[in-house]
Amino acid sequence: MKRKIALFLSLLLAAASLPFAFAGCVRGAKYDGLNVGTLILPKNLMPYDSNTGAATLITGLIYDSLLDIIVEPTEGKYPDGTAFTPADDVENPFHFKDLLVTTAGVYPKKSADDAAGREDTYTPTEDQRNRVLSRKLGTGYAALPDREKEESVPSDNWFKYTLEVVGGNTWNDGTPFTAEDIKFTFDYITLNRGALASQAMFLANYSHSAVHGGGKYLDFYLATHKTSDIKTICNSIPILPKHIWESISKPKNEKNTNNPVGTHAYKLQTYAENNSVTLALRDDYAFFGDVISADAPKFITITLMGTADIMLQALEKGDIDVIWEEVEAGKAKQIRDHPDLYKKIKLAAVGTDYADTLLLNVNEYNFDNKEHFADSAFGGKGAEFRKAVSLAIDQDELIDKVLYGYGRRVGPGLVTGEQPHALTDGPWASHKKDIDEANRILDEAGFNVSGNYRTKPGGASLTVKILARASNERVAQALTEQFAKIKVNFEYERAFDSYSDDIKFSYGSNFDAIINRVTYAFPTILMFDARYGFYPGTSNPRLYNYSGLDDPVLRGLMADMENEKDPAAQIAKAHAVQTRLAGLYLELPLYSPNMIYAYNELRYKNWVSCVGAPILGSDTFKYIAPV
């Protein structure tokens, strides 16, 4: 996702604290720039520092990752009438397209004569393996069990990739781009992994690299035989200019707001903290018409504005052209239902590859009178309880009441339909709702009704708390109403932290259930292991295994899936993982929400709405033109 918003096109915005007066811009006069509104401006322009607000937009217009991603336009075609051609999920499972390097470098070589591509295996030296072991497991790795070391850093079957640089790319100061910049970036992040932790995690299995062919080729080695690493490396890491950053020894202290040097089509013109950022189109950019429209805005100004309502007013008046942040579903409904008030605003509501869920805690431990729902709970009736709760969820009602129609159903395998590994047939292809069956299961399991609600087997009272942020209060409350139909008392409990990660840190395993969000896009299917696995060689759940699930069968299926090299076979094994997960009734699907964006067509046309991507995505910037 990060890369889908990394090539974002030009924007120019209005000043939030002023009555929408722009420097050099009078409403109605010709202005060769795009105005963008945002609720959050970055405090610096470090490409690795922040994913919040307009940070990814701004740095994505200055920097490039190695490869771009093919995304599907919602109309099925582009503004010039060209029909969309989907990527071949077998030949191009990552849906890559050329950018700084060619896509050939990430796939297995067809023959020994191929200059770029992945060799099937590489056997590391002892020293090479030890360096990665030390980085991943600490300096005391030698004392750890061999199994743990092998699971973390295999002793054989590493991957060697050869990337080929696309000719014509230059840094915005005129310096040629070469493979030396890629090698430097990987080494620099690894060396400064404490300060650059958000990017270092993508390079956890990076060992070393070498440049050859006069800077045209890069050989780099990954201490893994899992293909999924390459996707995040190629589309999530902005590449740094070696000639600039090799003199910056403390990246944590760097703000990068004077003259950030990148390879993409825009460069910084002005940076006014807590006010606005203006970018200017490069005259020397080599890929007009291919990556960037020949009619792309000459300037993009991103302006900090006070509230979503202020931005919508500015958009309707034409003071800005687009809002960077997603529009909340309630606001979208307001715009949709009042066309007399919002005549100029257009909405783009696109599908996503993530799903919102109700995650039940199956940790065997019971803290502070919290409930757990492992198989052993309720006298061995935990699995029956989980299944009954799943059957009580009405996705269509949630989509209507919580999302106002801006969402889609999602199956219990939790993979959305855009993904090639989604379950599309069989009993687990869609979520099943059956109130009568849910009540029957609870009755037979001994959850008897006493008054308005059921008790636990044996007669003790039962109340399940849904721990959720304020933004998820509506869905939590809607769920309590749905579960009342099976006479199970669910209550909303507000979490005061910003992200589910913080909920895990603050509450540990001390919760009954949480509203969660998951993404299992192909081929980064290692996220299944992150959500339901254990750290190698230990009995400790992984960081994102919030529920504490300990299922050896699922872990074995996940390992088999991750180690599969053939994309078609990997998809089949992903189906097995989803089938097992669905049958556990652990992470219960609620819906897949739309991403909603607001823009107008008063000054610019050819906006491209794409599945899973912001309206200001790379395809919009390829076609955008003044009205």
Q: Show the 3-state SS of 413-439.
A: CCCCCCCCCCCCCCCCCCCCCCHHHHH
User: How many other CB atoms are found less than 10 A from the CB of residue 120?
Assistant: 11
State whether 99 and 194 are in the same domain.
Answer: yes
Asked if residue 234 is part of any domain, the answer here is yes
State whether 46 and 109 are in the same domain.
Answer: no
What phi and psi, each to the nearest 5 degrees, are found at residue 448?
Answer: -80, 155
Pair type for strands 33-38 and 299-304: parallel
Asked if residue 254 is part of any domain, the answer here is no
State the pLDDT at residue 29.
38
Contact 108, 118 (CB under 8 A): yes
State the pLDDT at residue 215.
97
How far is 473 from 154, CA to CA, in rounded Å?
45
State whether 621 and 534 are in the same domain.
Answer: no
Asked if residue 117 is part of any domain, the answer here is yes
Asked if residue 305 is part of any domain, the answer here is yes
What would the pLDDT profile of 436-458 be if each residue is shown by its tens digit?
999 999 999 999 999 999 999 99
Where residue 20 falls among pLDDT bands split at 50, 70, 90? very low
State whether 207 and 229 are in the same domain.
Answer: yes
3-state secondary structure (DSSP) of residue 562: helix
3-state secondary structure (DSSP) of residue 513: strand
What would the pLDDT profile of 499-545 be if each residue is shown by its tens digit?
556 666 666 667 899 999 998 887 667 688 888 988 776 778 887 88
| Domain count across the chain | 3
State whether 552 and 621 are in the same domain.
Answer: no
State whether 319 and 396 are in the same domain.
Answer: no
Q: Kindly state the tokens that stand for 119.
A: 């060799």
Q: Does the pTM of the predicted model rise above 0.75?
A: yes
CATH code of the domain containing 297: 3.40.190.10
CATH code of the domain containing 158: 3.90.76.10
State whether 382 and 459 are in the same domain.
Answer: yes
Which strands make up the sheet holding 463-468, listed edge to edge?
407-408, 587-593, 354-360, 513-519, 463-468, 489-494
Asked if residue 68 is part of any domain, the answer here is no
State whether 588 and 617 are in the same domain.
Answer: no
State whether 312 and 386 are in the same domain.
Answer: no
Domain that holds residue 177: 91-245
CATH code of the domain containing 501: 3.10.105.10
Across the chain, mean pLDDT equals 88
Place of tokens 């607000």: 53
Asked if residue 71 is part of any domain, the answer here is no
State the pLDDT at residue 502.
65
